[in-house]
Amino acid sequence: MVHSNETLDLRIIFEDIDLVVIDKPAGMIVNDAKTTGNKLTVQEWFKSKIESGNPDTEFGSKGGVVHRLDKDTSGLLVLAKTEKAYENLKAQFLERKVVKKYAALVHGEFKEQQGIISLPIERHPMIWGKFAIGTDLSRTAITEWKALERYSKYDIRYTMMELMPMTGRTHQLRVHMKHIEHPIAADPIYLNKRQLSADLVWCPRLFLHAKYLEFDHPESGKRSVFESDLPKDLSDTLVV
């Protein structure tokens, strides 16, 4: 099969017999789906490395993909090669033992230096593919945030953030930041057209990068830490 985006720069950060940690490029879809067409997904790429699994099991159907990143988000992902590793890592995510940190440039400035957002996220009632703050408390998502540095682009103020999701809802960081009126720069879904057009003048894509991942190795139990610098397409935008 010929894939239309097989030149995307997917990097292996770490690999052993149990798992692989990769640095996913922006624009690459994580999970296989009918809508992906001939685009190379992380799941498809990983097939050659994975232990053959029963397609009727979760491990088999998801192809070792333990968690995911949005197509527009770059950064660190851990993939399980075996069902044992998959179940162990999945439990760590569910029990909030995994530490995830993201770099995000958002609109506006903050009076406080840190905070916590705890609000439920549900599918948008009117717009397919979009999510919004909801009322179902069983779907509560929790995000810790820290304001780091201030930037200005074309007289628009921005703040570099460190975002730490305690949960893993779809579009969680994007929806939470939008709700507190600090949407992420160049977000094609949650910015209005005027804001998006202004951002795309200097920023080529969603300014969101999974920069830090920490978990217990599923076999040795050793605490493992991985970090990824901002990719060049984002770091170049910060140069004055």
Task: Evaluate whether residue 4 is within a structural domain.
Answer: no
Q: Is residue 234 part of a domain?
A: yes
Domain-embedded: residue 1: no
Can you tell me whether residue 71 is helix, strand or coil?
Answer: coil
- Report pLDDT digits (tens) over 159-170: 999 999 999 999
Residue 192 within any structural domain of the chain: yes
Asked whether the predicted pLDDT for residue 207 surpasses 60, the reply is: yes
- The number of distinct structural domains making up the chain is 1
Query: What H or E segment, with its residue span, contains residue 59?
Result: helix 58-62
Residue 161 covered by a domain:
yes
Query: 20, 49 in Cβ contact below 8 A?
Result: yes
- Give the residue among 63, 60, 53 at the shortest CA–CA distance from 20: 63
5 domain-assigned: no
Q: What value does the mean pLDDT take over residues 8-25?
A: 93
Q: Give me 191's structure tokens.
A: 């910015």
- Annotation marks residue 70 as catalytic: yes
Predicted local distance difference test score (pLDDT) of residue 182: 97
The pLDDT assigned to 4 comes to 43
CATH of the domain at 221: 3.30.2350.10
pLDDT in tens, 21-76: 999 999 999 987 766 667 889 999 998 888 666 777 889 889 999 999 999 999 99
The single residue of 70, 72, 187, 199 carrying the catalytic annotation is 70
Give residues with Cβ within 8 angstroms of 57, minimum separation 6: 83
Q: How far apart are CA 108 and CA 158, in angstroms?
A: 5
Assess contact for 120 and 153: CB atoms under 8 A: no
What amino acid occupies position 41? T
Give me 172's structure tokens.
Answer: 């969680």
Residue closest to 225 by CA, chosen among 76, 85, 9, 83 = 76
DSSP 151-211: EEETTEEEEEEEEEESS--TTHHHHHHHHTT-PBTT-TTTS-HHHHHHHHTT--S--EEEE
- pLDDT computed for residue 104 by the predictor: 98
Q: Which range of residues forms the domain containing residue 105?
A: 11-238
Mean pLDDT confidence for 112-129: 92
Answer whether 73's CB lies under 8 Å from 211's CB. Answer: no
Q: Is residue 175 one of the residues assigned to a domain?
A: yes
- Is 28 within 8 Å of 44 (Cβ atoms)? no
Residue 149 has pLDDT above 90, yes or no: yes
The mean per-residue pLDDT over the stretch 78-84 comes to 95
Average pLDDT on 86-113 reads: 96
pLDDT at residue 5, rounded to an integer: 44
Q: Does any domain span residue 3?
A: no
Checking if the pLDDT of 93 tops 60, the result is yes
Strand runs labelled E in the chain: 11-15, 19-24, 74-80, 99-107, 114-123, 131-133, 140-153, 156-165, 208-216, 223-227
